[in-house]
Structure 1
Amino acid sequence: MKTALIAGKAVANIDKQIIGNLLLDQASVEDVRQEQMVIGIRNEAGEIYRLIGAAKLNNYMNAMEELMDLEMVDELEDEEESREGCDAIFSEG
């Protein structure tokens, strides 16, 4: 899976735990957005500051599970469509 920080956005306090729990390769925002599925992570200000891209469904599901284990909440859990270019958007519950 690939990840990128969005320039100019504050990093969330939980970011070190996210990076520690997921095996991610650093990439550009453009590269991450080209992946099959994209997860956005919101900071405390409510801005998406990190993108995680997964090429395979099992990688995407593993990432979702890891984020939920950190007690993060997917605001698109009950949605059928993506929002802000993301298939899931997590923030601290």
Structure 2
Amino acid sequence: MKTTLLEGKKPAHFDKHIIGNLLLDVAPVDEVRQEKMLIGVRNEAGEIYRLIGAAKVNSFINAVEELLDLGLVDELKDTEDSRDGYDAIFSES
């Protein structure tokens, strides 16, 4: 899985836990956006500041489970549709 921080967005206070719990390769934003499935992570201001891209469904599911284990909530859990290109968007509440 690949990840990038979005320029000009402040990382959430829990970001170090994401990096610690998920095996992520840092990549340029264009490269992350090319992955088959995209996860967005919101900061305290409600802005998506981190992108996580997964090439395989299995990797995507593992990432979602890890983020849920951190106590984060997927805004798109009750829908089959993506939103703004994201297959999941996580935040604290």
Task: Give the structure-1-normalised TM-score.
Answer: 0.97
Task: Give the structure-2-normalised TM-score.
Answer: 0.97
Deviation at 1:85, TM superposition (A): 1.7
* 3-state SS of paired residue (2:89): strand
The runs of at least 4 consecutive aligned structure 1 residues that moved more than 4 Å come to none
Aligned position for 1:20: 20
Q: How does 1:73-92 map to 2 (within 5 A)?
A: 73-92=73-92
Aligned position for 2:3: 3
Deviations 1:18-70 (A, max 9, x none): 00000000001111110010000000000000000000011000000000000
- Equivalent position amino acid for 2:23 in 1: L
* 3-state SS of paired residue (1:11): coil
Q: RMSD across aligned C-alpha pairs, in angstroms? A: 0.6
Deviation at 1:80, TM superposition (A): 2.1
**2-structure distance, mates of 1:83, 1:8:** 21
Aligned position for 1:38: 38
* 3-state SS of paired residue (1:68): helix
**2-structure distance, mates of 1:14, 1:72:** 10
Aligned position for 2:60: 60
Equivalences, count: 93
Deviation at 1:81, TM superposition (A): 1.4
In the alignment, structure 1 segments of 5+ residues that lack a partner are: none
